[in-house]
Every structure is written in structure tokens, then in C-alpha cells.
């Protein structure tokens, strides 16, 4: 059976992992209404998850709408397969300005120089490693990547 990496971090996974004090970055494909329903029924899990977004305007609008109604979410994950793009850095900067008290997780990059750029743009946690997972096809599809995986804290 094929795995869909776009939806690995779903609400069911977040509920299950929260029971074990584990963290989930929830995928970006849920609607605002789905987020509101989840929050109503699972308020205790909100402390151990991140809302995810890409770098598009629609992603940013959705995150703004969700966080304006569910301020208990303390983490935002800005995720792209390959973080070496100016619009990715700009999205981190804009998110930091909009949400100065939230913890921002950003990635993916593989060099110390780019980690520094993302931290200066406003990231608190940087995901390092492009295409490191067994199910990830980024390295094969783009020819870019490195299998190292670690977190660098600000």
C-alpha cells in the first residue's frame, strides 16, 4: 500500500500521540471548519501539535483564520520540501511578524548557512534534512537533498 506523506500528521494521529506526550505537526489540508471541530472536541491535545502551512497566500490565510479562533495552538510549522527559496524565507518573516508569541518550526534545509538565515527570519526550530525519510521522494524527483536529520534550536 502506498503512503501519502501529505497527510501523515492527521487529527487521529495527533490525538493518539498526545496520549503519550508526543508532538504532531498536523498536515495543512484540513479546512478551518475541520480545525474548529477538532479543537472543540480535543482541547487538551492543542498543546502538543503544530498547525502546518506552505508558503502560498491561501495557506497563510487559513493559518490566520485558525489561529484567530484557536489561539491555544502555540506552534506553526512552515514546511516545504526544499527550503532554498526567497519566498520561503519571506513566509517565515511574515509569519513571525503576525505571530510573535508562537513557536515557528521551519524546514527543510541542509546547510548551516541556511539554518542561520531561517533563524534570522524568525524560525525557532529548523528542520534539517531534505529527503531523509524512506517514503520521501524529494531527492529522487529533484536531485536535491541530504539524509541528515536533526533539529537546531534557537
Identify the CA nearest to 79 among candidates 33, 111, 125: 125
Catalytic residue among 24, 95, 103, 136: 136
Question: From its phi and psi, is residue 23 left (phi > 0), alpha (psi between -120 and 50) or beta?
Answer: beta
Catalytic residue among 103, 111, 138, 151: 138
Question: For residues 74 and 100, is the Cβ–Cβ distance under 8 A?
Answer: no
103 is catalytic: no
Question: For residues 105 and 124, is the Cβ–Cβ distance under 8 A?
Answer: yes
Cell numbers that stand for 48 in this block: 502538543
136 is catalytic: yes
- Residues shown for the chain: 154
Contacts by residues 35-38 (CB-CB < 8 Å, ≥ 24 positions apart): 35/66, 35/69, 35/70, 36/66, 36/69, 36/70, 38/11, 38/14
Q: Catalytic residue numbers?
A: 136, 138
Amino acid at each position: 500500500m502506498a503512503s501519502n506523506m501529505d497527510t501523515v500528521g492527521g487529527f487521529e494521529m495527533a490525538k493518539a500521540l498526545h496520549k503519550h506526550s508526543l508532538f504532531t505537526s498536523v498536515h495543512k489540508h484540513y479546512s478551518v471548519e475541520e480545525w474548529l471541530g477538532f479543537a472543540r472536541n480535543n482541547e487538551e491535545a492543542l498543546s502538543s501539535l503544530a498547525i502546518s502551512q506552505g508558503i502560498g497566500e491561501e495557506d497563510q490565510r487559513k493559518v490566520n483564520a485558525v489561529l484567530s479562533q484557536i489561539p491555544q495552538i502555540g506552534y506553526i510549522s512552515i514546511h516545504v520540501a526544499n527550503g532554498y527559496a526567497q519566498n520561503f524565507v519571506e513566509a517565515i518573516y511574515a509569519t513571525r511578524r503576525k505571530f510573535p508569541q508562537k513557536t515557528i518550526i521551519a524546514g527543510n534545509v541542509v546547510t548551516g548557512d541556511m539554518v542561520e538565515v531561517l533563524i534570522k527570519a524568525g524560525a525557532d526550530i529548523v528542520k534539517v534534512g531534505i529527503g531523509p525519510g524512506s517514503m520521501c521522494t524529494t531527492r529522487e524527483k529533484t536531485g536535491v537533498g541530504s539524509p541528515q536529520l536533526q533539529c537546531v534550536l534557537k
